[in-house]
């Protein structure tokens, strides 16, 4: 906070006019004579007057700030969403406040509460795993009901009535699986999370649907459901062993679809140990087009979610609702950001 910042009052005293006069002059009001106007504007310019936005927020009951609450900050996909929100926010004169829920329901609710205390005009939020697991959406529904708009993205819920921006996980997974099948790989290993992680569940559905549409029998032995919450070194070490074993017991596998790029990275490691060549022996596709997909060897064909677009779309929607005076009459919209497959060396 500028200690020696200049205010309307200080200008008024200095120039021997009233505060109102200064305020109006700076707004080019015709109520103020050209002479006075110029004098005031010149003084303000020279002294670097900038309106105090806290005072404006209090007066206007608008903070021009939007809050983002995400489960994890250190995450490529979420970072891209923030980037997208930042782009739109900047353009529309909004600032963004960030807070991480750390996949915890309690922290998510706490952040929502504290940031709601007149600090933000609205929220962009992706549900924490714990929130989804407990299906406890009271904090969110309460916030919406009290008049603060929320846009949910990616991890959403049908039990919350609000604007949403989602990725068509089923279709993305379907396309990815289908690509493998088109390349002649019909024995496809799926590496996914347990069902309580909704995106894992949906991507599994896409996989299953692709097999069905191509008359390929579903083989439960080729579906590895792992603990989606664990991202420790040990977990990935065990995952590698699990993959190795699966390949040993199912030598017919010639394709792998992983629901995220971390799992795909581990797959590559396992395949290397098995001396299987990619994509000749086994083709690999994954969801999430992040740095792992781009920089691994071979680079991995991936389903790109357009995180930046998700962020831009969410921000646009939110700001529209914030600035629409009777936003309660605006029907809630759900936008599906379509995915595309970025083909790389692994297929």
Q: Using CB under 7 A as the criterion, which residues of the chain lie in contact with DNA when the complex forms?
A: 5, 7-9, 16-21, 23-24, 26-27, 31-33, 35-36, 49, 51-52, 55-56, 58-59, 61
Binding flag, residue 330, a copy of itself (CB under 8 A): no
| CA nearest to 73, candidates 105, 47, 110, 98 | 98
- Judged by CB under 8 A, the stretch of 59-67, 161-169, 179-187, 192-200 that binds a copy of itself is 59-67
Counting residues that bind a copy of itself (by CB under 8 A) gives 62
Could you tell me the sign of the dihedral formed by the alpha carbons of 259, 265, 270, 274, in that order?
positive
Enumerate the β-bridge partners of residue 335.
165
What does 141 interact with, of a copy of itself, DNA, none (CB < 5 to 8 A by kind)?
A: none
Residue 82 near residue 121, CB atoms below 8 Å = no
Of residues 13 and 54, the one with the C-beta less far from a copy of itself: 54
Q: How many helices (H) and strands (E) in the chain? A: 14, 12
CA 240 – CA 246 distance, rounded (Å): 10
Please pick, from the candidates 18, 29, 33, 119, the single residue that binds a copy of itself as defined by CB under 8 A.
119
The dihedral over CA atoms of 286, 288, 293, 295, expressed in degrees to the nearest 10, equals -170
Q: Which two tokens stand for residue 80?
A: 């891209």
Q: What is the smallest separation between the CB atom of 219 and a copy of itself, expressed in angstroms?
A: 26
CA pair distance 279, 125, nearest whole angstrom: 38
Site for a copy of itself in 253-272 (CB under 8 A): 261-262, 265-266, 268-269, 272
Q: Does 297 bind a copy of itself (CB under 8 A)?
A: yes
Residue 338, contacted partner among DNA, a copy of itself, none, CB below 5-8 A by kind = none
How crowded is the C-beta side of 112, counted as CA atoms within 13 Å? Answer: 30
Least distance from a copy of itself to the Cβ atom of residue 88, Å: 13
Tokens encoding 39 = 């004098």
Residues lying near a copy of itself in the complex (CB under 8 A) are found at: 1-5, 50-55, 57-58, 61-63, 65, 73-76, 79-80, 82-83, 86, 90, 95-100, 113-121, 146-148, 236, 261-262, 265-266, 268-269, 272, 290-292, 294-299
């Amino acid at each position: 906070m500028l200690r020696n910042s200049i205010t309307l009052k200080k200008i008024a005293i200095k120039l021997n006019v009233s505060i109102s006069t200064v305020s109006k002059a700076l707004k080019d009001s015709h109520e103020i004579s050209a002479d006075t106007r110029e004098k005031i504007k010149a003084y303000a310019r020279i002294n670097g007057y900038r309106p105090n936005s806290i005072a404006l927020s209090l007066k206007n009951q608008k903070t021009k700030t939007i809050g983002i609450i995400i489960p994890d900050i250190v995450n490529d996909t979420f970072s891209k969403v923030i980037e997208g929100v930042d782009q739109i926010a900047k353009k529309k004169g909004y600032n963004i406040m960030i807070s991480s829920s750390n996949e915890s329901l309690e922290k998510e609710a706490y952040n929502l509460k504290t940031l709601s205390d007149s600090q933000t005009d609205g929220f962009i939020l992706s549900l924490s795993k714990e929130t989804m697991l407990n299906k406890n959406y009271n904090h969110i529904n309460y916030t919406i009901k009290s008049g603060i708009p929320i846009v949910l993205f990616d991890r959403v819920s049908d039990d919350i009535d609000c604007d949403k921006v989602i990725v068509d996980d089923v279709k993305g997974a379907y396309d990815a699986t289908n690509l493998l099948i088109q390349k002649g790989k019909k024995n496809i290993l799926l590496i996914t999370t347990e069902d309580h992680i909704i995106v894992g569940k949906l991507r599994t559905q896409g996989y299953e649907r692709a097999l069905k549409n191509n008359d390929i029998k579903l083989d439960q032995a080729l579906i590895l459901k792992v603990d989606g919450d664990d991202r420790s070194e040990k977990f990935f070490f065990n995952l590698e062993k699990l993959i190795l074993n699966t390949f040993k017991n199912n030598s017919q596998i010639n394709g792998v679809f992983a629901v995220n790029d971390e799992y795909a990275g581990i797959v590559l490691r396992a395949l290397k140990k098995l001396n299987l060549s990619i994509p000749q022996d086994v083709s690999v596709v994954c969801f999430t087009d992040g740095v792992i997909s781009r920089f691994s060897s071979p680079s991995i064909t991936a389903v790109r979610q357009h995180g930046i677009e998700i962020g831009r779309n969410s921000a646009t929607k939110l700001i529209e609702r914030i600035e629409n005076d009777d936003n309660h009459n605006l029907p809630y919209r759900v936008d599906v950001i379509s995915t595309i497959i970025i083909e790389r060396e692994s297929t």
